[in-house]
């Protein structure tokens, strides 16, 4: 019985986090009562799970960072062929960023910072593998390439939020990263 209650409790927390993302994306000043209503739970349920609005936003940021990390890991960046992994990681991350824009825009340290550090290291390893496979110049500055890649993903996520196809945007990001925009 405890396992069923735990699964139910986790499901309720996820419903609250997802509802909070939708509500706060539209109105960052929305009250907890509005979030509870969107989640289909009582306001007391939200307050029992999250002691304050700040605690809810922090939990959202951690949840989004975990989704971000899982999206990158699902692409198997250390073992899949580098260009396949690069495209898949890009598409996966764009899906997360489109769905968790509010939470991912929060600058919260601690666990979120640690997770983003793990992802950044995986990204640099993947870029190194792409360079070693000949997809990037041998003298490419890997940190610069990573920063450009992140900027391209940010711009593509904005397009995805506006309705652009995620896979097309992922292909555009990878193509721009590898070939630039020159003739």
107-149 residue pLDDT tens: 677 888 999 999 999 999 999 999 999 999 999 999 999 999 9
pLDDT for the residue numbered 183: 65
CATH architecture assignment, domain 57-179: Orthogonal Bundle (1.10)
Which pLDDT score is estimated for 171? 94
DSSP one-letter string for 47-65: HHH-SSHHHHHHHHHHHHH
Give 72's contacts (C-beta < 8 A, 6+ positions apart): 89, 92, 93, 119, 122, 123
- To the question of domain 1-50 being in CATH 1.10.1200, the answer is no
Are residues 72 and 117 in contact, defined by beta-carbon separation less than 8 angstroms? no
Written as six digits, the tokens of 121 are 């290291």
Q: What are phi and psi of 10, to 5 degrees?
A: -65, -40
pLDDT at residue 153 is higher than 50: yes
Q: Are 82 and 129 a contacting pair, CB within 8 Å?
A: yes
CA dist 14 and 16 (Å) reads 5
The reported pLDDT for the residue numbered 123 is: 95
First to last CA, the chain: 64
Helices 53-74 and 111-132 cross at an angle (nearest 10°) of 20
How many Å apart are CA 122 and CA 150, to the nearest integer? 13
Q: Domain-by-domain residue ranges, the chain?
A: 1-50, 57-179
How crowded is residue 127: how many other Cβ atoms within 10 Å of its Cβ? 24
Q: How many residues does the chain have?
A: 183
Q: Is the pTM of this model over 0.85?
A: no
- Provide the pLDDT for residue 150: 94
Chain Cα centroid distance, residue 75: 13
Is the confidence at residue 27, as pLDDT, over 70? Answer: yes
List, in sequence order, every beta strand (DSSP E) within 16-146.
none
pLDDT number for residue 1? 47
- 34-93: pLDDT as tens digits: 999 999 999 999 988 898 888 999 999 899 899 989 999 999 999 999 999 999 999 999
């Amino acid at each position: 019985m405890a396992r069923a209650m735990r699964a139910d409790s986790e499901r309720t927390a996820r419903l609250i986090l997802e509802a909070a993302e939708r509500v706060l994306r539209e109105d960052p000043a929305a009250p907890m009562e509005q979030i509870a209503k969107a989640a289909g739970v009582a306001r007391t349920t939200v307050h029992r799970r999250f002691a304050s609005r700040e605690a809810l936003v922090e939990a959202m940021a951690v949840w989004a960072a975990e989704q971000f990390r899982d999206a990158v890991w699902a692409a198997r960046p250390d073992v899949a062929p580098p260009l396949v992994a690069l495209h898949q990681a890009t598409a996966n991350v764009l899906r997360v960023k489109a769905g968790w824009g509010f939470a991912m825009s929060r600058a919260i340290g601690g666990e979120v910072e640690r997770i983003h550090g793990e992802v950044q290291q995986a990204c640099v390893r993947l870029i190194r593998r792409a360079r070693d496979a000949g997809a990037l110049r041998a003298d490419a500055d890997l940190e610069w390439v990573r920063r450009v890649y992140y900027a391209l993903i940010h711009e593509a996520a904005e397009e995805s939020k506006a309705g652009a196809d995620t896979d097309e945007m992922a292909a555009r990001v990878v193509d721009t990263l590898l070939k630039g925009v020159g003739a």
